[in-house]
Structure formats: structure tokens, C-alpha cells
A and B are shown apart, each in its own frame.
Chain A
């Protein structure tokens, strides 16, 4: 009796164990495929101009560096920097942008590619990049060519206030415009999931109006609080980075492409004891649980690799036909270079005949007036002298 009971108990335990293991296996495999995205994009924007806003460029470049290190290629990153700090004449170390006063990390790097720079960083260009409504001659590197399976990371930094972000000291973008842009992106199926990070004063006000699904947002400070900068450098003379992004960079430096760190760890970056302001986040529009979202879902890049064991035969290369045949019979005169400063020719250059345009309205009106006055004064009988 007890033997049967024991056996039954054992069978129950075994089946439970099998089911448990199976479940674990499927969640791991399931997690790999449940993220639902096939490519990653990043839009990193620094909106401030002038040398004393060095820290905003350093913020954006440090996120750029992390994102590139974790695998997203330059062709999938749209980097917008409103001013040039690296080659600014005030920079004592040209072609470098540092994040820390020990000058240990040059976030500018040796292979940076900035897509929008200087005066091109405007609210209009930013919204056009997001919604994809760019003029047809825009090159590929300036476009966000995402599709409905793309995970997009959007990072904004600069000076902001309650409900707006200032672009280049001359215009601003409001939180409603941003929310509408994201809604346009959702309706055009331009993203699968979107992570929005903002590092400005009162940053949480920028995400309170979002209403599209699959959006997760992080901000460096709540409404009514200021985001503070981290530390100045006496040689460069300005503050190098903002506190929130500094600790974010420190956190991201420990993330590698295979890391399992998830969004809950990201929410814990820079608590109030370090940041003085209270970072905020918003996950109610996001469908998955933040604990199951990996950092590399947004900061890294998906690489689907298929390993095959068969050999593939490549076709032999096609040789282009030699074009020089048949030129032997025709006598070609030798070509010459053009004279760089043909003085005699220039002096005797006739003015180029411009294309004939029909007379302007003003000229026509003037001539009509003259003719009318003439015929008024001298009468119509003089017409026969003209014709």
C-alpha cells in the first residue's frame, strides 16, 4: 500500500519535474523569439548649441558609443548633433570629446559618423526623420528606414521645461507634438517597440502625453525638478556630462552583447542619492513585462546567424567583354587638356545669348500705356502710317 503510494508520489513528482523543465526550456527559447523584433535602430539627438553646452554633446556621444559597441551599425543610427564640440576652436584637445575629467574616455572616437549636424538639427527635421516624410533626394544615411519589426531607441538631451524641449535656442518641441509623431509612427507601422530616454530638466513631462502602444519611456527628472550636470573640467572649462547619462554610461559599459540585464536594472540607474533629481519611467503602454525585456533588445542589435554544413558551389565570375576591339580602324585624334586661363579667349568672349523670355508684365503694361496715350493724343487715323 505504502509502496504504491510512494510510486504514485514519485510518478507525480517526476511528471511535475518534467513539466517544470519543459516550461523552463520553452521560456528560454520562447524568450529568444518572443521579443518580436528583427532589426534595431537608434535616433540620438543633441539639441543644444554653444560651447557651454558641451555636456549635451558628450551625453549623446556616450550613448552613441554604447549603442555602437553593442552592435548597432552606423547605417542604423541617426545621430544629430546641433553643434560641433570636438573641432571647436575652444577645445584644447581637438577631435576629442571627453566624458570624465580624467580624460580617460574619448567618446568621440575615430570612426564617428554624424548624420545631421549644426543648423540641420531642427524640430522639423527631427519629426521628419521619425515619421519618414523626407524629401526624395535625402540620402539613406539621413533616413530612419525602420519597419514594423524594428525596435527603436530614441535619446534626447538638451535644455527642457515643463512640456517642451528647446532646439538650438530658437525653437521648441512640445510633448504633444512628440506624442503625435509616435502615433504617426505607430499607424505607419514604423516600429515594433520603442524606448524613449530623455535627459533634460523636467524630463518626465515629455512622456506624460504618449498614447501609442509599445512605448517605454525613461526620464532623468520629474516635473518640477532640474537635471544636474556632473562635474566640470578645469582644462576644458565646462561641465563634461550630465549626472543621469554619466551613471547610465557607467551602467552600459558593463553590458555586453550577450548580457541578460533587463529593464528593471535600467530603471534603477541613478537613484536620487546619486542624481539629486528623481528619474522616472513609464511602462503602462508597453505590452511586455519590463523584467523580461533585455537591455540588448534596444541597445544592441539582433543578429540572426544560420550555420550550414553543406558546401555551396559559386558560379565562375563573368568576365566583362573587352571594349577596345574595333577601335583600330577608326582614326581617333588625340585628346587635349583645356587651357586653364585662356586670356585671349576670355577678352574676346562674347556675352552669352540668354534664353529669350517673353516680356514681363510690367514691360507689357508700360508699352500698352504708351501706345494708348499716343493714340489718344494723335487719333486713330495715324494708324495707317505705322502699318
Chain B
């Protein structure tokens, strides 16, 4: 068979990072990256030969002229105070944000069709994304890929906080991988273990990136990421000892044959005081990620000696001591205050734990139209003093058309807590707009806090090809700070819910009253009484007949 002698235009890398957490839980982050040197949006040449890049996504990109696509499905909530910052943050439920190309004339139409197509690809109810829960952020969610034009008319953002993530979402996600779930790191992705965890998030990120260090042309990058945090007590049986087999009920036996690089990184910065790792490996690497320099133990799966004599790799981490809780520099919370079913107040609290540096954060809130916000009651206080945001963008909601969008750029003073409060009133929906289980409540999507947090060590601004994937997701522009996005909790509010059996009750009662009232009135007015002769038995009737013939008086 003939083989093309030139270099293949696409390459695939896979990576697993295991980070033991201070609370005894363990955080595993899978990243699968396909880099493809082509241009979907070229008019002259239709792309028809797909090798490693999945065809279903390629066709979606070219049909809807998508510049960037980010979709994530998350079960659980990321606890920043206990677990630190994740490599790829995501809010609970489903989140989809897309940058379209500036050649698109009808962005809303493309967005509607794109959500329907993606709901078929990922077996999720993304078709519930429509104009009532889509926003166009003006300053958040800048593109993570190459480009310079950032007209926010081509950006769409939507979340579905109620979306459930289960095996039916994992199955098509695994099918997009070049090796499927048969070889390489993806054999570890077994749903019975992955969903029995505190946090599970799977995402697909597609964006144009630099092809090489000179950055003269673009390449498409598809990243599939899966973050999971296994709980010490539910999965770990209370023992502070983790291994690949305990986490995933599988061990690694080979790398994906189609991958150019297949590595497992274990964060051993706190080794040996906190835990010990076996099998020990001489391969170490250092990376600056999330503002900190961490040391990693590297297991290269493309080399046969990693697997040892048993031909399988099972990492074992055994905790030796306890350590103090870490304090992440940026943390945010949100809750609903108030009582009753008419009014309420949304409080968003943002903590800046840096001892002496202040930094700005961009807070984006998207509230559905049925919680009517009163923006004149918006207050932003830091250290019990008023803190005026340097930029506010507010787009009011339109009933049944558009949600509220509030974006604010707030300067957080060092070592402080900033509270943003706004009052709202709950709307009464039409009775067909309620879900089949309205007493569960209605969800409000998470707030997004985007910030450039000052970094403790200098970040790496150069783009190199052999950087590990977990440190090259967000492009770094300056050395002194790193970009982070924190999601707050979604809110669950109860709306005034009618009693749905009332129409039936009302009809029964009204009909009864009308029947009884009108019926008796009608009878009183129109009923006449007549004296009715009772009918005589047969014998007496015959006797009467004879008496009539005889002319004698009849019987009674």
C-alpha cells in the first residue's frame, strides 16, 4: 500500500496529571490534544480527509463558521478553598460559549442550529439553549485562541445549570478520541468509577493556535479535558492511600499508538513530607502553572521500560502526614438572602487573599428574566466601604426574550472581602411555562469571576512545542500574573408555584354550583304540577270496562 512520504498534518498528544490534595482527596486531570494543520474556513478547498480530528466536529466548525468553541459538562461543584485552583475551570451543569467568525451574517440563527447539532453529538439537552438564556458578554470570555478582532457581537455564552452528566455524555465524548477507549490513557475512563466522585467535568475546547514558534500560520487545536476529584471517604474508604487501580479500577498497559506523546505527571512538590510515590522514577520536570512552580514526576508511556516487568503501570501514593489547608488567592461565593416567595437578594462575595497586592476582577452575572433585578439597589462594598466599579455593563432583561447581563470590573483591595448585593423580585410564570417538577426550584447559572492574579513566580511567556499540556491552555502575555476564572455556586430559587390541580377543582365546583343553583331556579319558575291518576291493576281495568258498558259508576 502506498504511504504518503510527507509529514502527517495532524498529531495527537495525551496526558494525565495527578495532584494529591491536602484534604486527602486526589485530583486527576486528563487532557487529549489533537493539533491539525489545516484551515476549515477556506472557501476553495473543502476538507474531506479526516485522520485524527473527528469528522463530526470538523463538519460542525466549517458549517457554522465557528472560530472557537468551548463546551463543558460538569457534575458537582469545585471547592476552591479545599482543592485549590483547577487546571481548566468549569461551572456545574453544561456551559457553552462560542466565538463565530466575522463573516457570519446571522449569528443567532447559527447559534440555534449549532446548539441543536451539539445536543445530538453529546446526547445532552442543549436544545434548551435559546435566546432566553443566551448572553453576549462584552468584556469576559475573550478568545483563548489566535486572532485580534474581538467584536463581542460574534460571541455567545449560555449555561444550563440543571443539566445532568452521566454515561450517555461520556460515551460520545470517548468516541471523539482517536484511540477511542481501547488504548492509551482513555482505558482508565470507566463510568462506574468516574461518576462516583465529588467532581467530574468533561469538556471540549476547539481553537486556532500557533503552528510553530514563529507563529506565522494557524493550526486547529482540539482539546478534550476530563477533570475528576475522588473523595477520600466515598471512593477511598477513608484510607489516605491512592493508586490508579483504586481510582479507575484499571491500570495502564500501553500508550495510544497514534499519539506522539503520552505522559503521566504526578505532582510531587510536597513529597517527601506529605506522601510517598511508588514506583519512583528518575524523570522529573518542573513547570510553572497557576502562579506556582511545581515539580512533577513524569512517566512516559511511549517507553516500554515505564511498564516494568508486569507490563502494567499502577502508581501508588501513600500519605504520610497531615498538612495545613492552603489558601487560594482568589475565591468567590454566592447565595440568595431574604425570605418569602416575592423578593430576595443575591449576594456575591469575592475574597482576595493576597497579603499586599490589589488586583482587578471582572464579575459577570447572567440572571434569568423571571428574577427581576432592581439595579438601583446594587451595592459593591469592600472592607465595609463603598467600592465603585471602574466599568459596568448592564443589559436589562426582556420578559421571555433575554436574561439580565451584568458585568463589572471591580478593584479588589488586598486581603479583603468584597460583597456585591442586588435585590430582585420573583415573577409569576404562565402555567404552561412551569417544568413538570416546579417545586424543585429554578436554577440561576453561576457567576463568572475572571481575574489576572499576581503570580509568585515568573510565568513563562514563550510558547514551546514540548510544554506540558496543562500549563499551556491559557495564553500568557506577561510574566507577573496569570489568568484565572472562578465560578460561583449556581443558585436554586423557588418561584411562586400555583396548584396545578386547581383548574380541575374549579371546573368541578363551578359546574356543581351552576347545576344546583340554576337547576333549582329553573324548576321553581317553570315547573307545573298536575294530578296524575294512578294506573289501576289489570283486573280492575277490565271491571271498569264492563261497568262502562253497563253504565254503572266506575271503580276508583
Contact = CB atoms under 8 A, between A and B. Distances in A.
Interface of A: 49-50, 84, 86-87, 93-96, 106, 108-115, 117-120, 135, 137-142, 168-170, 316-317, 319-320, 322-323, 327, 332, 334-343, 346-347, 349, 352
Contacts of B117: 137, 139
Contacts of B483: 340-341
Contact of B191 (A95, A117, A322): A95
6 contacts: A93-B192, A112-B168, A113-B172, A338-B146, A346-B391, A352-B153
Interface stretch (B214-222, B318-326, B370-378): B214-222
Interface stretch (B20-28, B137-145, B250-258): B137-145
B184 to A, nearest CB: 17
B165 interface: yes
A3 B128 CA distance: 88
Nearest to A335: B146
Given A141-B123, A319-B4, A323-B45, A337 B409 contact: no
Contacts of B436: 49, 119, 168-170
Given A120-B127, A346-B362, A335 B116 contact: no
Contacts of A135: 116
B167 A343 contact: no
B218 A335 contact: yes
B353 interface: no
Given A334-B214, A349-B391, A117 B125 contact: yes
B163 to A, nearest CB: 8
Contact of A86 (B123, B166, B435): B166
A135 B127 CA distance: 11
Given A95-B192, A341-B483, A113 B116 contact: no
B247 interface: no
Contacts of A322: 6
Given A169-B436, A341-B360, A347-B391, A352 B210 contact: no
A140 B477 contact: no
Contact of B216 (A95, A117, A335): A335
A286 B451 CA distance: 68
A170 B196 contact: no
A336 B148 contact: yes
Nearest to A50: B437
A138 B117 CA distance: 7
A95 B197 CA distance: 11
Given A138-B120, A352-B152, 6 more contacts: A95-B167, A96-B192, A119-B435, A322-B6, A338-B147, A341-B483
B409 A338 contact: no
A137 B129 CA distance: 13
B167 A110 contact: yes
B2 A114 contact: no
A107 to B, nearest CB: 12
Given A137-B112, A169-B436, A334 B147 contact: no
Contacts of B409: 343, 346-347
Contacts of A169: 436-437
A140 B2 CA distance: 36
B121 A139 contact: yes
Interface in B138-179: 138-139, 142-148, 150, 152-153, 162, 164-168, 171-172
Interface residues of B, number: 67
B166 A338 contact: no
A340 B477 contact: yes
Given A113-B168, A341-B360, A343-B409, A139 B119 contact: yes
A139 B128 CA distance: 14
B101 interface: no
Contacts of B354: none
B4 A338 contact: no
A135 B194 CA distance: 35
B441 to A, nearest CB: 14
B190 interface: yes
Interface of B: 2, 4, 6, 39, 45, 49, 75, 112-113, 116-117, 119-121, 123-125, 127-128, 138-139, 142-148, 150, 152-153, 162, 164-168, 171-172, 190-192, 194-196, 210, 214-218, 360, 362, 390-391, 409, 435-437, 450-452, 474-475, 477, 483, 500
Query: What's the dominant secondary structure at chain B's contact region?
Result: loop
A141 B128 CA distance: 17
B452 A338 contact: no
Determine which residue in A93, A119, A139, A319 has the highest number of CB atoms from chain B within 10 A of its CB, and name it: A139
A288 to B, nearest CB: 35
B318 to A, nearest CB: 26
A340 B450 contact: yes
A206 B303 CA distance: 63
A336 B435 contact: no
Contact of B166 (A95, A137, A320, A343): A95
A78 to B, nearest CB: 12
A84 to B, nearest CB: 5
Nearest to B166: A87
Given A339-B477, A340-B483, A347-B409, A111 B171 contact: yes
Nearest to B6: A322
A114 B123 contact: yes
A340 B210 contact: no
Given A84-B166, A322-B6, A94 B195 contact: yes
A341 B125 contact: no
B168 A117 contact: yes
Contact of B360 (A49, A108, A111, A343): A343
A74 to B, nearest CB: 9
Contacts of A87: 75, 164-167, 195
A96 B196 CA distance: 10
Contact of B450 (A95, A96, A168, A341): A341
A342 B162 CA distance: 32
A137 B113 contact: yes
A21 B194 CA distance: 59
A112 B192 CA distance: 13
Contacts of A86: 166-167, 195
B160 to A, nearest CB: 10
Given A139-B119, A140-B120, A338 B360 contact: no
A-B residue pairs, 7 tightest by C-beta = A139-B120, A337-B475, A87-B166, A137-B116, A168-B436, A95-B195, A170-B436
A120 B166 CA distance: 16
A16 B450 CA distance: 89
Nearest to B124: A117
A106 B138 CA distance: 47
B146 A336 contact: yes
A332 B217 contact: yes
Given A95-B195, A335-B147, A114 B216 contact: no
Determine which residue in A84, A112, A115 has the highest number of CB atoms from chain B within 10 A of its CB, and name it: A112
A349 B138 contact: yes
Contact of B168 (A114, A120, A340): A114
A296 B429 CA distance: 49
A316 B4 CA distance: 11
Contacts of A141: 120, 123
A108 B166 CA distance: 10
B208 to A, nearest CB: 8
Nearest to B500: A170
B171 A334 contact: no
Contacts of B451: 341
A335 B192 contact: no
B44 to A, nearest CB: 9
A112 B167 contact: yes
Nearest to B152: A352
